[in-house]
Each structure stands twice: as C-alpha cells, then as structure tokens.
Amino acid sequence: MEIRDLLSKDGYYISPVVGRSMLPMLRPRRDVVVIQPIDTHNGINSHLKRYDVILFETSKGYILHRIIDIKDNIYITTRGDNSHLVEKITTNQVIGLMSGFFRKNTFVKTSTMFYRLYSRIIVSLNLIITYKTKWCNHSHNSE
C-alpha cells in the first residue's frame, strides 16, 4: 500500500528514519517519524510554513526535508538539516507533514517551543555555512 493511501486510511504514517540528510535531529535507523496528512480542503499551503519538515515524492523516491522557503503558495524549497543542497518542489509533491518523532521511548512533538527554536537555529546555521562556503570558493577562484 502506498504512503498516500495509508495516510488517507489511518490518518498517519509511521516510519523509521533511513537517510542521513536530517542529522543531527533525526538519526537513521534509530528514530521513528510520524507523518500526518495535510488537509487540502483549505489549500495545502494554509498548513505548511517555513521550518516544517515535510514528506514529499520525487523521481528519486520519498524525501523528508525541512521547508526553507515557500513562493507564490506553489513552489517550496527544502533542504536536509545535514545538507547544503536544496530541493525545489511544488505543493502537489507534498505527501504529509511531520508532527513529531520517537527517540527511544519519548515522543518529540514539532509543536514544542524547544523544537521550533531548534529548527530556526539549524536553518540559520546552515545558511551561514552555505554562504561562507560560497564566499570562500568565490574568493579562492578570483585569485
């Protein structure tokens, strides 16, 4: 059964984390994410905002990344917390929204103040590192 079908039938989808792109927050094969469906009745973007972690589908398969930008309520830019590469998708590729994750026996909700602060810090650090890397490469290539 497809993930979209499970979300529609059960109202959630639970899966272990596989890749390393969301380190250090999500640890592969140790943490388990909970994905909630997005209510499209009010428009998909009424539920999505910057810093949310979404599950979306590409030609490469399913990807779980953080939203870093939304343009015109259609185009979404995402990035893994452990990556400098961005994925540009459209809202019709979004399958669900991470509502939290299990670490050992503890459920961490994405609605907590701690989690929201962490999200903003990790995105800001990632942007600083990306710009510093681009600047250093540009300076080095200019010599």
Residue entry with tokens 């639970």 = 14
Band of the pLDDT at 1, cuts 50, 70, 90? confident
Measure CA 20 to chain center: 12
Classify the phi-psi angles of 57: left when phi > 0, otherwise alpha if psi is within -120 to 50, otherwise beta: beta
Model confidence, pTM:
0.85
Which of 99-109 are b and which e, b meaning 16 or more Cβ less than 10 Å from the residue's Cβ?
bbbbeeeeebe
Residues 6+ apart with CB under 8 A from 94: 38, 44, 48, 54, 55, 56, 76
Of the listed ranges 13-27, 36-50, 91-105, 125-139, the one predicted with least confidence: 125-139
The predicted structure's pLDDT at residue 133: 59
Domain that holds residue 81: 3-142
pLDDT at 20 over 80: yes
- Say how many domains are in the chain: 1
Name the token pair of 24.
Answer: 């250090």
Name the token pair of 134.
Answer: 């681009």
Average pLDDT over residues 80-94: 92
What is the number of alpha carbons within 13 Å of residue 40 lying toward its C-beta? Answer: 10
Helix, strand, coil % (nearest 5) of the chain?
30, 35, 35
State percent of the chain over pLDDT 90: 66
Nearest to 30 by CA among 46, 16, 40: 16
pLDDT at 39 over 80: no
pLDDT at 95 over 90: yes
Average pLDDT over residues 107-120: 92
The predicted structure's pLDDT at residue 135: 59
CATH no. for residue 23? 2.10.109.10
State percent of the chain over pLDDT 70: 84
